[in-house]
Every structure is written in structure tokens, then in C-alpha cells.
Amino acid sequence: MAFPVGYPDEFLIGARPVYPGMAGPFGNPEESASSDGVSDTTAGTYQNKLTKITNVLPAGRYRVGWYAEGSNTADKKRCDMRVRANGIICGLVNVTQEKANEWQPNGGVYQFNLAIDAAVTMDIYWKQFDGGTARIRNVRLEIWRVN
């Protein structure tokens, strides 16, 4: 990582530069999970693709990030996705395709306050809407502390 000219050495901690105003819990702790394989369903109700239960995290403000690719085996049909953190919806996507089997990338971020030290459960679900087979792959879930 390039380090700006003029910053004294005391801002360096190990190999990671810490800039003025950046000291603190930013980015730590962080946890993540992924599921690369394809999952298909003809269900019209949400099916679980990936769940991540973190270790107990200290109270603070956290950022949840997610990514997933969705498609449907039929033209003009949907692959719906829902992402939650502790049961709160932090991502809701309805992917409608013009042509079948075109993978569409989707992602988002969400911030929330964790009031007490606690584990966080993150999950992502998917389903078809109005027919066809909904497909999902390359799912990523991550969480890290903001402050």
C-alpha cells in the first residue's frame, strides 16, 4: 500500500498504515462466507442458499456486504433474492431476465448498530417467481465493523 509522503513513522503499525482519524475498530472484527456452487430451485417460496453465523461480535456499527449471481432457465422469468442480517432484510432483488440462463450480478451493502455483544446471523435466500427454475451461484456474505 502506498503511504503518503510526510506521514511520520508512528502512524505505521506493522505493515499496515494507520492514517490520522482512522485509528479504532474500523475493519476489525470481520467475518465472511461464500458458496460458489450453482443451486437451482423451482420453489416459489424462499430457499436458503447460505447462512453465516458469526462469533460473538463486540457492540458497534457494522457493515454487511453481499454478492450473488442469479438467473432463470426460462425467458422473462425472475430469480428473487433476499439477504438478511439478524432477520432484518438488507437486500431484496428481483432479477428479471429477457433471455433464459443469463447470469445477472447483484450486490449491496447495509449498515446497522449492534447494541450489545452478540453473534450475527446473515443469510441469503432465493426463489423463482412466475415460473421456470431460479438459479443462484457465487454467493458472498461479509460483515465488518465500521466504528
> What's the CA gap between 25 and 34, in Å, rounded?
24
> What's the CA gap between 9 and 44, in Å, rounded?
58
C-beta of 57 vs 136, nearer to other proteins: 136
Q: Which stretch binds other proteins (CB under 8 A): 1-9, 25-33, 44-52, 63-71?
A: 44-52
Angle at 39 between CA 37 and CA 41, to 5 degrees: 175
How many residues bind other proteins (CB under 8 A)? The answer is: 17
Binding to other proteins in span 63-92, by CB under 8 A: 73-74
- Applying CB under 8 A, does 47 fall inside the site for other proteins? yes
Is residue 126 within 8 Å of 134, Cβ to Cβ?
yes
Bridge partners for 59 per DSSP = none
Output Rg (C-alpha) for the chain, integer angstroms: 19
Q: Which stretch binds other proteins (CB under 8 A): 6-14, 20-28, 32-40, 110-118?
A: 32-40
Binding site for other proteins (CB under 8 A): 35-45, 47, 73-74, 132-133, 137
